[in-house]
């Protein structure tokens, strides 16, 4: 029953996480587009009121005219929409998923003794430490190097090195699948912390000054803008890290740390292309195609690098009976997929149940090789070949 309820909780939390993440990323991408596409206001009244940019757009049969005031509007509106629950909900639901899966069952998901053998409490503490230490280090970099416009390049380089170091460290301590997700969670935590500690507090100070009739310090907007820009470049790397758990050929590679770094670098370069593309349309900067080209080149290089090497076929009997496969299941899989436990609602301890889940067994154990998780039970290549031969010959239960 516990496993069943955990599966339901996982499903509902994952559903929520995807929904709120779409809302957060969507609003973030929209405002980056908006900032890059604004033109000086044509109306003299808008310019006199302090408007710095405007955009005319058409969508859904209506025309929209957003106007930006870089420091403060002439009068604070009665209704002001704040964008922060999208971020907070994404982080809270994501952390709940991380807690329920990776931290709840560290021996299954977090620890791979072949990578680093340590106790579950130590692994859990280290995983949580990644989230906290990365944020503290990243925030320190921004505070010390990012106080001026000229410091943006230094901040970018320092943060990139920090991400590289954290990725290599994570993949040397945790199971590959967990390491990729942990790096994504680490960066996503910094993104949400940017909103919580910098962007929203700065905006609240601006609103408070306007209500009090005091001059608005432009530094709050500048700092919020800096962190918001960082968040947009973090987005595609985080999305890859979160999706990577479906593709074992990335995180199971012996050099998985560099695979992760390469994929994140490609994502950041491609995001830079889309950010600058809007400015190019208005004649503000050259065509950003080199960034897209760099991202594509990195992706193509990874595709070539990760291609499977020719492997000599492992001998398997021409005709495989279910009893032979059942023996493999009993030794490698039945401890989690039996009548009492039925992890993920799957039983593999009887011929009938094995046949019922034959497609999933073949997909997970032979094609994607995701199971057993981190190969904790030591399934061999010959045993995988045996399962494959049984499935391809009809997966009979007799």
For the chain, which residues make up each domain, given as ranges?
Answer: 107-305, 322-392
What pLDDT does 1 receive?
Answer: 60
Residue range 235-253: average pLDDT? Answer: 91
| pTM, rounded to two decimals | 0.84
What pLDDT does 384 receive?
Answer: 87
**Number of residues that make up the chain:** 398
| Distance of alpha carbon 133 from alpha carbon 183, whole angstroms | 12
Give percent of the chain with pLDDT exceeding 90.
Answer: 51
Phi first, then psi: give them for residue 53, nearest 5 degrees.
-165, 160
CB 269 within 8 A of CB 233: no
pLDDT grade, residue 312 (50/70/90)? low
Q: How many other C-beta atoms lie within 10 A of the C-beta of residue 157?
A: 12
pLDDT grade, residue 73 (50/70/90)? confident
According to DSSP, residue 368 is labeled S
pLDDT grade, residue 371 (50/70/90)? confident
| Distance of alpha carbon 20 from alpha carbon 96, whole angstroms | 14
Residue with tokens 């009976």: 321
Q: How many other C-beta atoms lie within 10 A of the C-beta of residue 276?
A: 20
Q: In sequence order, what are the residues at sequence separation of 6 or more whose Cβ sits closer than 8 angstroms to the Cβ of residue 55?
A: 34, 37, 38, 39, 64, 65, 66
Residue range 85-92: average pLDDT? Answer: 95
Which segment of 84-98, 105-119, 124-138, 195-209 scores lowest on mean pLDDT? 105-119
Residue with tokens 């310090």: 217
List pLDDT tens digits, range 23-46: 999 999 999 999 999 999 999 999
What pLDDT does 246 receive?
Answer: 84
Rounded to the nearest 5 degrees, what angle is found at the Cα of 274, between the Cα atoms of 89 and 248? 60
pLDDT grade, residue 149 (50/70/90)? low
CB 180 within 8 A of CB 244: yes
């Amino acid at each position: 029953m516990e496993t069943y309820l955990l599966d339901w909780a996982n499903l509902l939390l994952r559903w929520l996480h995807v929904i709120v993440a779409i809302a957060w990323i969507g609003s973030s991408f929209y405002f980056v587009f908006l900032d890059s596409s604004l033109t000086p206001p044509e109306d003299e009244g808008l310019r006199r009121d302090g408007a710095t940019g405007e955009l005319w757009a058409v969508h859904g049969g209506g025309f929209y005219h957003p106007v930006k005031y870089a420091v403060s509007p002439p009068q604070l509106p009665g209704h002001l929409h704040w964008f922060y629950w999208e971020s907070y909900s994404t982080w809270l639901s994501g952390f709940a998923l991380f807690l329920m899966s990776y931290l709840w069952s560290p021996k299954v998901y977090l620890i791979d003794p072949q990578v680093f053998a340590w106790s579950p409490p130590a692994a859990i503490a280290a995983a949580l430490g990644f989230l906290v230490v990365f944020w503290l280090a990243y925030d320190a970099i921004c505070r010390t190097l990012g106080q001026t416009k000229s410091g943006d390049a230094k901040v970018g380089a320092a943060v990139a090195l920090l991400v590289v170091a954290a990725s290599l460290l994570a993949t040397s301590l945790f199971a590959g699948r967990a390491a990729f997700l942990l790096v994504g969670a680490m960066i996503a935590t910094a993104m949400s912390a940017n909103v919580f500690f910098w962007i929203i507090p700065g905006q609240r100070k601006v609103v408070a000054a306007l209500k009090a009739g005091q001059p608005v310090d432009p530094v709050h907007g500048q700092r919020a803008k800096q962190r918001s820009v960082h968040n947009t470049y973090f987005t595609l790397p985080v999305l890859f890290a979160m999706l990577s758990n479906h593709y074992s050929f990335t995180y199971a590679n012996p050099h998985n740390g560099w695979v992760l770094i390469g994929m994140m670098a490609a994502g950041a370069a491609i995001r830079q292309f889309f950010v600058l593309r809007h400015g190019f349309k208005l004649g503000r900067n050259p065509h950003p195609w080199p960034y897209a080209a760099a991202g594509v080149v990195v992706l193509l290089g990874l595709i070539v690098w990760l291609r499977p090497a020719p492997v000599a076929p492992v001998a398997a009997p021409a005709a495989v009976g279910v009893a032979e496969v059942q023996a493999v299941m009993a030794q490698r899989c039945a401890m989690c997929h039996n009548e009492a436990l039925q992890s993920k609602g799957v039983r593999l301890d009887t011929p009938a149940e094995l046949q019922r889940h034959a497609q999933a067994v073949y997909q997970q154990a032979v094609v994607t090789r995701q199971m057993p998780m981190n190969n904790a039970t030591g399934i061999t290549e010959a045993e995988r070949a045996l399962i494959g031969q049984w499935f391809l010959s009809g997966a009979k239960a007799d």
